[in-house]
Each structure stands twice: as structure tokens, then as C-alpha cells.
Structure 1
């Protein structure tokens, strides 16, 4: 909030701020991006919205250090985002109808610095091509309403094999999700949360992921949610709420 007030060249007034961030920390779920977007939207509303959503995105990317998570937090939905010469290029990607996300959220955290430490300094051309082709296929799967492509499109060679070394049960939970009918499954961000995509078997996938984790000695919980096109926004509440 202070960042936006500085951008508006306006002193920030005395205020009381209560932050109820329902996104668990250090699970690779973008909790910091959500908090940043919420703070900027709140500050912008208090100033009668002098800044556009794109302005807020630029501020959020500056605070976060990159635009990846904040683009979705500000604009909502699934977003393509690229930063080039300090300019952000972003576009929405349609999400197939009835697609649901099943999240297994472990009790144990993985600090981002630890998740980055296990990544290699160099990658092979073959692995780079492998991931680039699947990133393109992921866009085709979403935009073309071809959910059957998600199994291949969510495969990875650049980070998940390395992060499995600090969270070995990941492989078992992945297999359980696929066997239960998940369309695709992957590590959420740098982990430790795991996300599976499905259209018809959400509760079955959730149960099998939870059970596989339990058998590996990993405590956690599952959440079934539906993607939304709505980004950070103001919700009015009465004084009694």
C-alpha cells in the first residue's frame, strides 16, 4: 500500500490493516503475489482508483521482482506473461469449462531459496526443447479445449526432477493422482503443494492424493477449487461483518 501511495505522491494516512491471506506460505501457491495484489488494489481504491490494472501489475512486478504470479493475481485467470526491457507483455488463456484443480497442501514447507538451490546451473538443449514444446502444448490444450493434451503438457524436466530430491513423496503423489484419473499433475510453483487438473473425478483424485501422501508419512490437506477469471478486487462489507 505504501508503494502505491508513493507512486501517487500522496502521504499514506493512518489506517488499520487486517490481512487474512488464505493461501498457505512457502507452498509454491503465490501467497506473496496475492498479498501484494490485495494491498495495491486496496490502496488504489482508497485513492479513488487513479491507476489502471496494468499500472498495478507493473507495481506488483516491481515489488515481487518478477511478473509471473502477480499477473494472474491482478488480472485473474490463466495468464501468459513475459517481461522484456522492463515492459510487461501479458495475455489471457481460456480455461476449458468444468476444469477443476485439486491441491494437496503438505504441512511441511519448502523455502523458495532451498527449492532454487537444487536446480542445476546449466541445462541440456534436449531438456530445454522438451519443456518449450510442452509449454506450447499447454496453451493449445487450454485454448483449444483439448484437456486430453494436459497429461503430456504438464510434463517437466527443468525443475521437478531436481525438487523431488527435497520432497521424495512427490513422485508417489503424482502417480496416485494420475491413476485416479487426473488429466495432468505437477508441482505448484517451487512446492511443496501439488496440483492435479481434472474435469469429472475431483473428489476421487483428492482422496487418492491424500491417501498416497499419508502412506508416505506426509501430513497435509486437500482442496478442490475451480479456476476464476476474476483478479484482485474490492468487496464491500457491512460494519457488522
Structure 2
């Protein structure tokens, strides 16, 4: 019989970007790729990072999202044969859960015949994720500004005028997002709120115009990073290098524990990496070099012939 196989390619993301807590995010050129076909039983062939977790049939966020979305809409989930190639580190503040939930919702919409448009997929994934920043950047690409209104996500993607390079600096151990959120206060002073509002506006303008010299000031934050340094000590070590060499900015990546370092476009990153390692001290780190992903998430259905 002929059926539609779905191919998905979703980028990693770095959210918050300093002052843009739960609002701003950036898509990065590390990807989760999935090929899915309806089958008699569930199966997953996984390669790439954290293949053991991605390939498990139990406690699998991708399958859980796929099944729960369809069941909530009164559809019996058809089993899938999945090929997963994961390039996004799990639990490191690089948007792995947002990419996985988006994939699960997209699979549900496709194989369950939900007839959802792209914004409905984005809205549902954001609802499951709990905030729209990572999901919007993952789905739309580029630098995104996102908010929720009347139970829908309104988001816009900007193509930065200057395509700066990105270094994702990862410590050894992952950090659960709930633990990172737990240390943030529930209220703030007016001066802190105004401080962040000014920098969110400046940061958005800097990305839109390519003024990299503004990033060092624009990523300053008083809402979440000062409270997260205790659970993300790498951030405290690397914040002082912002503005040194060709380094434009240093921010926590998402909820951490990774740190995002933006570097001037077109430069040799060797000096920046050396500076990062020197300030990390004895802490064991991995540095992933990538560029800003400008393309939206790819969802492509292909007709194939298969015997079930």
C-alpha cells in the first residue's frame, strides 16, 4: 500500500538570551531529524547524541507527546516506525524538549489526520512545553520574539542583519529545568523590571540591525541569571569574558547549565575557545561550534510504498 512518510528536521534553540526571559530565543544549527512511517508496532532506530534515551520505547517524550495529543483529540494513535538522528544535547538548555514536543505534535497532526496548520502545531507544543520561546525559535528559525494571547502563540522571526557565530559551552552534568526555575523569585522591583525592558528592546534592535557592539549591554539581566548562577556555576565563570577578543555576548542558554557565547561573524574562533577554557578553569566542558539557523523547521511528507 502507499502511505505518507513524514520527515522532520528541527533545530536546537537557546532561549531567554539574558533579559528576554520566556520571550526571546535563537535557533542554532544543531538538529533533531526524524523519519516516521506508520507500522504494525512501535519501533525506534536512534543515532547521534543520547541515542540510548532517544531510542527507548518507554519513558520517551516523543512517543508520549504523539500519543497524548491524539488521545486528547479522540484519535487512536497508529503505531510508528521511527528513525531518529539527534544532534541536540539533552537536558543542557539547548531546547531538546521543545524540539521533541514539536516533533511529537507534528507527527500526531500528520498521522492522526488532525488537519492542523503550522500555528496550531506551534501553539500546542508551546502549551505542553509551558512557554513559547524555545518552541517558536525551533519552529520558525532565526531570532524569535514570542508571547501567548488568548491561548494562542503569537511569534515573529527576525533574520539577524549580521550572522554571528555561536559557541555552546556545556558542563558535564545536565540540569532539570524545574530545578533551575525554582531558584527564581516570583516578584521583582520596578527598577529591575525597567532594567530588563530596556535591554530586551535594545537586544531586539541589535539583532535586527546587526549592531554587535550593543550586545554586551543588551544581554544584561536582573530577572533570572543572577539567581541561577548557584545552579549554573559555569555562567558566573564566563560572564567576565563578554566583550573580550571577538566575543560579543555571554548568556545562559535556556535554563542552563550550558552557556551561549556569541562571536563576531567570520572570525577564527580559536582565540574565543581558548578564552572560554581558561575562564572555565578546572571545570570539564564541551564546546559546540555552530551558526544561527535561519530556516524554519522542515516538515516534509513523502509518498512511499510499503507492505504492512
**Contact 2:231/2:257, CA 8 A, preserved across alignment:** no
Q: Tell me by how many angstroms 1:45 deviates.
A: 4.2
Change (3 A) 1:65 1:168: closer
Q: Tell me by how many angstroms 1:87 deviates.
A: 2.4
Moved over 6 A (4+): 235-238
- The answer for the alignment partner of 1:212 in structure 2 is 279
- The answer for the alignment partner of 2:160 in structure 1 is 95
Once residues 249 and 157 of structure 2 are traced to their aligned partners in structure 1, the CA distance between those partners, rounded to angstroms, is: 20
**Contact 2:241/2:250, CA 8 A, preserved across alignment:** no
Which of 61, 65, 68 is matched with 2:126 structurally? 61
Change (3 A) 1:9 1:75: farther
Once residues 97 and 12 of structure 1 are traced to their aligned partners in structure 2, the CA distance between those partners, rounded to angstroms, is: 44
**Contact 2:77/2:112, CA 8 A, preserved across alignment:** no
Deviations along 1:168-223, one digit per CA (max 9) or x if unpaired, are: 3422222235323211111111111101112244332223213322x2x2112111
- The answer for the alignment partner of 1:105 in structure 2 is 170
Once residues 255 and 78 of structure 2 are traced to their aligned partners in structure 1, the CA distance between those partners, rounded to angstroms, is: 37
**Contact 2:168/2:288, CA 8 A, preserved across alignment:** yes
**Contact 1:80/1:90, CA 8 A, preserved across alignment:** yes
**Contact 2:234/2:259, CA 8 A, preserved across alignment:** no
Change (3 A) 1:8 1:77: farther
Runs of 5+ unmatched residues, structure 2: 1-65
1:174 aligns with 2:239: yes
Once residues 89 and 134 of structure 1 are traced to their aligned partners in structure 2, the CA distance between those partners, rounded to angstroms, is: 21
Change (3 A) 1:210 1:118: same
1:37 aligns with 2:37: no
TM-score normalized with structure 2 length: 0.69
- The answer for the alignment partner of 2:35 in structure 1 is none
Runs of 5+ unmatched residues, structure 1: none
Deviations along 1:76-97, one digit per CA (max 9) or x if unpaired, are: 2221111123122111122123
**Coordinate RMSD, CA, aligned:** 2.5
Q: Tell me by how many angstroms 1:47 deviates.
A: 5.7
Q: Tell me by how many angstroms 1:4 deviates.
A: 4.5
Return 202-211 or 94-103, whichever deviates more. Answer: 202-211
Deviations along 1:2-46, one digit per CA (max 9) or x if unpaired, are: 245346654322222344432222222111001111223334444
Once residues 96 and 224 of structure 1 are traced to their aligned partners in structure 2, the CA distance between those partners, rounded to angstroms, is: 20
Structure with the higher strand share, 1 or 2: 2
- The answer for the alignment partner of 1:2 in structure 2 is 67
